[in-house]
Amino acid sequence: MDAKDLMILNIIQEDSNLSVKEISERIGLTFTPTYERIKHLEKQGVIEKYVGLLNREKLGLNIVVYCNVRLKEQSQKVLASFEKHITKYDEVQEVISLSGEYDYMLKIIAKDINSYNDFTVNVISNIPNIGQYHSSIVLHEVKKTTKFKIDLG
């Protein structure tokens, strides 16, 4: 990737609704090479997909919880089973495998504390091999971004 590709990526991270014409004007290329660069970045998997970012609070999703999970056993079969099971739930936005005290960290979004409690009681605590889980409720999101830092060189 060269500087023009990196400029394209920075622009798309800010606003993926921009037209190729608008992007080409910003990076100083014509339409066709800009279009070809974007298609190449998509084909290479650098640009995975385009999404709309929604305001969760306007959708009535008022609580964010980071739930640390420790399993009773860490065999490959148990880990794979947990991952397959937990990723089915839309409430779970992220599942991260960890080193250290806990095996996983889950980012869970819920309407309110009662719906989160229902989720823990009816889903998390019923997953086979759950040893322990610990919830940290987000009080305030200080910084929330999807943008990666890309050095333009």
Rounded to an integer, what distance in angstroms lies between the CA atom of residue 104 and that of residue 127?
A: 13
User: What band does 151 get if pLDDT is binned at 50, 70 and 90?
Assistant: confident
Q: Which of 134, 142, 139 is nearest to 63 (CA)?
A: 139
Contact present, 81 and 75 (Cβ < 8 Å): no
Mean pLDDT, the chain, integer: 96
Rounded to an integer, what distance in angstroms lies between the CA atom of residue 106 and that of residue 127?
A: 14
Task: Give the pLDDT confidence of 9-60 residue by residue, as tens digits.
Answer: 999 999 999 999 999 999 999 999 999 999 999 999 999 999 999 999 999 9
Rounded to an integer, what distance in angstroms lies between the CA atom of residue 28 and that of residue 98?
A: 43
User: What band does 6 get if pLDDT is binned at 50, 70 and 90?
Assistant: very high
pLDDT at 44: 97
pLDDT at 106: 98
CATH value of 3-43 in 1.10.10.10, 2.30.110.10, 3.40.640.10, 3.90.930.12 = 1.10.10.10
Is residue 13 packed enough to be buried (19+ CB in 10 Å), middle (13-18) or exposed (0-12)?
middle
Domain with CATH 3.30.70.920 in the chain: 57-137
The region, left, alpha or beta by phi > 0 then psi within -120 to 50, assigned to residue 135 is beta
Domain with CATH 1.10.10.10 in the chain: 3-43
Q: What is the CATH number of domain 57-137?
A: 3.30.70.920
Rounded to an integer, what distance in angstroms lies between the CA atom of residue 67 and that of residue 104?
A: 8
Task: Give the pLDDT confidence of 109-150 residue by residue, as tens digits.
Answer: 999 999 999 999 999 999 999 999 999 999 999 999 999 999
Contact present, 21 and 39 (Cβ < 8 Å): no
Q: What is the DSSP letter of 64?
A: E
User: What band does 83 get if pLDDT is binned at 50, 70 and 90?
Assistant: very high
| DSSP reduced 3-state for 146 | coil
